[in-house]
Structure 1
Amino acid sequence: MPFLIAAVILVGALCALDLALTLSVIKRLREHTELLAGARQRPRHIEVGTEIGGFDTTTIDGERLLPGMLPEQTLVAFFSPDCEPCRTKLPSFVEHARHHPDGRAGVLAVVIGDTVQSAGFVSELSPVARVVVEERDGALSAAFDTHSYPTILRVERAGDGLVVADNQVRLDQPTSAAA
């Protein structure tokens, strides 16, 4: 009989432990569900008409870059060397940027990553754009609220700042026709 009592107590303790673990897993799943729901609510693209925040950064050529230094209409692109779609889209972007009415001054390319990792992108982009290499959440990424790559935008001057004029730039159309 003592053996039976010990077995019942052991099974009861195991059931209580299992219940406690199950409840903690359910709690964690609810927390993760809330986090994922919040992540899905963030728009994938920055919306047209969104004001761009302020920034103060330096290009790879050592040129200081502030919002007021960009031309009336500027093509802005964010690329990451870790991103396969970025590698695929890079040649068409370079060809599109080559024909920008303001030339190299009217195109801003931001490469997200370290200098060594970004070297290939920088060498392709430098002839057609002012290039900035920065880490994630750098000055330009924060100002443009960019979290996905590639992101290609057309921004224009609005008063003292910049606003997004186009968030789905078609690289197969001439630059001047999209302006």
Structure 2
Amino acid sequence: MKSILLMCLLMLQSGFVLAVQSIEGFPSIPFGASLAEVKQQVITANLTHISEDQQEGFNLVHANQAGYQGGSSLVFVVNQKTDKLGLVIQRFDALLTDRMIIKNFTKHYGEPMDETATKLIYGQIKADLPEGLQRITVWADHSSDAKASVSRFIRVLYFGSYVSIEYLDAGIM
């Protein structure tokens, strides 16, 4: 949790390019959705609901998404204190590159953060990441719809054998 707060501070101190769209969460399930809403949206979005569990103050809903690039596995993380969705982790095991994802996100959210800011963020979160990270690309929400302070991010993590996307609302987490 400290790494999320430190990342937010870094964002506020740096100058970033305005995003084209605001970061609202996972495409079919917005940040702030309750656990019940997340479970309902998993069904509505034709995701295969696998399981639920709890970890360190968070409710986790695990699901699979068929289709795009061989499908993906998803974890929706809902803060138990607020009953709000604040993090979605999407993992693509069949993707061997992150280039197409980066191109798509750049089209929708503008240019990612610069290398210096990304390195600072990586330094704050690396202890919480799995081994083998080869590249990280981060977008911060600077749209006019966003809160005064930046709290929403998309991180694309490339591990060589898979790609992971994290949709994060640090204000909820």
Calculate the TM-score normalised by the size of structure 2. Answer: 0.24
Q: Output the TM-score relative to the length of structure 1.
A: 0.24
More helix by share: 1
Give the number of the structure whose alpha-carbon radius of gyration is greater: 1
